[in-house]
Structure 1
Amino acid sequence: MPFERLRLMSDYQAPTPVWAPADLGGFVLTTEHLDDLGLTETLRTDLLRWQAFFDDHHPVDLCGWDSPLSCEQYAGEGFRLQRELARALPGVRFDLDLWPVRAVEEELADSGARGA
């Protein structure tokens, strides 16, 4: 199945952090889908490590990051992976959804507004 657009986003216990667009059902791609995209072994491994990092450092029972450093590392790796995917598949647009990072930014903004 050829894709013109994909979303790069972690979610709890997802098999990969790559998602089909909403108009195609918004389903999470499997590792077999990643193989079909023709990604290098290194890039596939990096994507799976990024997902595992999310699961390890933003666990569902905590519903937040275990440290500010983990949040920062996660975001930085997300931007790097987006660039790598764009290079690997130039005909596909990759939207990066950093919802776990935005949640931290919103929480910080709310606490700053209360403190003012």
Structure 2
Amino acid sequence: MFDRLRLMSDYEAPTPVWAPASVGAFVLSPTHLDHLGLDETLRTRLLRWQQYFDDHHPADLCGWDSPGSSQRYASEGEQLREELERALPGLRVELDLWPVPADD
């Protein structure tokens, strides 16, 4: 299906998992995650990470509600990237932490 994925939150996206640019860089739906064969725990953690972004970096605020929220988001993103790569051998996962300030 894909040789790589991007892990990245965006405002009110259904999941934080994106197809590569070579096939349109579209956001995957929860159904797509099911088709990847991810276990329930990892799917749930991915959806919760996306919801955490929406709750703590809302579009109307255009920033994090606290520095701690930003740090927690980045840390969880690193863990999820590693777990996603382990769950999908041979597939490269790129983590895009665009909402995290460079000094975090």
Are 1:23 and 2:22 counterparts?
yes
Kindly tell me the number of residue pairs found equivalent between the two proteins: 104
**Cα separation, 2, equivalents of 1:14 and 1:55:** 9
2:102 is matched with which residue?
105
CA distance in structure 2 between the partners assigned to 1:45 and 1:15 by the alignment = 12
Q: How does 1:1-116 map to 2 (within 5 A)?
A: 2-101=1-100, 104-105=101-102
| Percent pairwise identity | 69
TM-score (norm 1): 0.87
CA RMSD of superposed structures (Å): 1.1
Q: Which runs of 5+ in 1 are unaligned?
A: 109-116
**Runs of 4+ with >2 A deviation:** none
Provide the C-alpha distance between the structure 2 equivalents of 1:43 and 1:95, rounded to a whole number of angstroms.
17
Q: Give me the whole-angstrom Cα distance separating, in 2, the residues matched to 1:93 and 1:42.
A: 20
1:41 partner letter: E
Larger Rg: 1
1:72, 1:27 → 2: CA distance? Answer: 26
3-state SS of paired residue (2:52): helix
Report the alpha carbon displacement of residue 75 of structure 1 after superposing the two structures with TM.
Answer: 0.1
Q: Which residue of 2 is the match for residue 113 of structure 1? A: none
